[in-house]
Structure 1
Amino acid sequence: MTRTRLATALAALGAVAAIAFGGYQLWQSHRLDERDDLRAAYIDTAKDGILRLTTVRSSSADADVKRLLAITSGDFRTQFASRTESYSKVVKDAAVTSKGTIISVGVERFDDDTATLLVAAHSEITNKGTTAPETRDYRFRVVVTNGDPQTISKVDFVL
């Protein structure tokens, strides 16, 4: 093999390697973008679920409960659904108004099927027995199940 042919072959091999490496980097970048999108969707679902849990009004208690149930699944849905009537009754009878806000969210772990997140929330609550809003701060461990749509399948209070 002559030097010219060897140089041409090495140049072609280098070009093929560069194209393959570029393709691999593009694939890896796309894969990371998909993971970031999934992580962001888990965060959005956890925030939405906790806002629905911490925001309730006596004037719309039944609708508020339905909105929360719409984003739940699994054990959390089963437990909450069994208590919706009594929950709504207490909220209405006590003239409760609770406005929740999300303080922060951290992802403990996630994969393609589920995510476990820690959510810090704040709530201002009024009811028949209060003259000024009472504030409450909460920390929740939330499990989000991936699907169409994503749902909250477990909620625990964290001390």
Structure 2
Amino acid sequence: MKLPALADARRKLTKTNAASCLLVAIAVLFTVLSVALLKSHHTSEDQRAGDAAILSAARSGVTAMISVRDTSAADDVQKVLDQSTGIFKKDFEARSQAFIGIVQQAKVVTQGDVVAQGIESRGDGSATVLVTATSSVTNAAGANNESRSWRLRVTMSDDEGQYKMSNVEFVA
């Protein structure tokens, strides 16, 4: 009589072991899925933070570029240079004294504002941002708060941990 009881106990033990193994497998599966989702979430958050840094730097650089006053032209040019890098910075710096002279002579006052922007593409350490902006212009030639529209393709490059303008193209 002990043999059937032993067989029943083994069957119960085998069912319990199978159920335990199944629960452990399910717990491991959920743990793996949770880790994968958490990693994906962190990657998305890092990308969003990077995108925000790129867009903020592009907004600031473009605003500096289209906001110039005759009374503060040298400082305004320096703001653009501070937010630039690479060939764009070298070219702008080479022309900056002539630019300052023209702004002062023509008594130019412009105030710009970025209306919309978006990342067109991104690569390793750089991104291309499309920017739509407006500015109001007043000058000695007769412009009095005249509105100007700007469509720009701005390349933003990582310069020692900070995104800066490395190329600016006017888009038709």
Give the alignment's TM-score, normalised by structure 2: 0.89
Tell me the equivalent position of 2:78.
66
Aligned length: 159
Q: Secondary structure at the match of 1:146?
A: strand
2:50 pairs with one of 35, 38, 48? 38
Which is higher, the Rg of structure 1 or of structure 2?
2
Q: Name the stretch that deviates more: 38-47 or 125-134.
A: 125-134
Tell me the equivalent position of 2:7.
none
8 Å CA contact 1:46–1:142 kept in 2: the answer is: yes
Q: Secondary structure at the match of 1:95?
A: coil
1:114 pairs with one of 123, 126, 132? 126
Alignment of 1:80-95 (within 5 A): 80-95=92-107
For residue 75 of structure 1, report the CA deviation from its aligned partner.
1.5
In the alignment, residue 107 of structure 2 is paired with which amino acid? A
In the aligned structure 1, how far is the partner of 2:129 from the partner of 2:88?
Answer: 15
8 Å CA contact 2:137–2:143 kept in 1: the answer is: no
In the alignment, residue 171 of structure 2 is paired with which amino acid? V
Residue 144 (structure 2) pairs with residue 100 (structure 1): no
Q: Secondary structure at the match of 1:31?
A: helix
Could you list the runs of 4 or more consecutive aligned residues of structure 1 that deviate by over 4 angstroms after TM superposition? Answer: none
Classify 1:130/1:69 alpha carbon distance in 2 versus 1 (closer, same or farther; 3 Å).
same
For residue 3 of structure 1, report the CA deviation from its aligned partner.
1.4
User: What is the CA RMSD across the aligned residues, in angstroms?
Assistant: 1.2
Q: Percent identity?
A: 30
* 1:75-126 residue CA offsets vs partner (Å, 9 max, x unmatched): 1111101001000011011111000011110211123411101100101111
8 Å CA contact 2:154–2:165 kept in 1: the answer is: yes
Give the alignment's TM-score, normalised by structure 1: 0.96
Tell me the equivalent position of 1:138.
150
In the aligned structure 2, how far is the partner of 1:131 from the partner of 1:45?
Answer: 30
| Between structures 1 and 2, the one with greater helix share | 2
8 Å CA contact 1:55–1:98 kept in 2: the answer is: yes
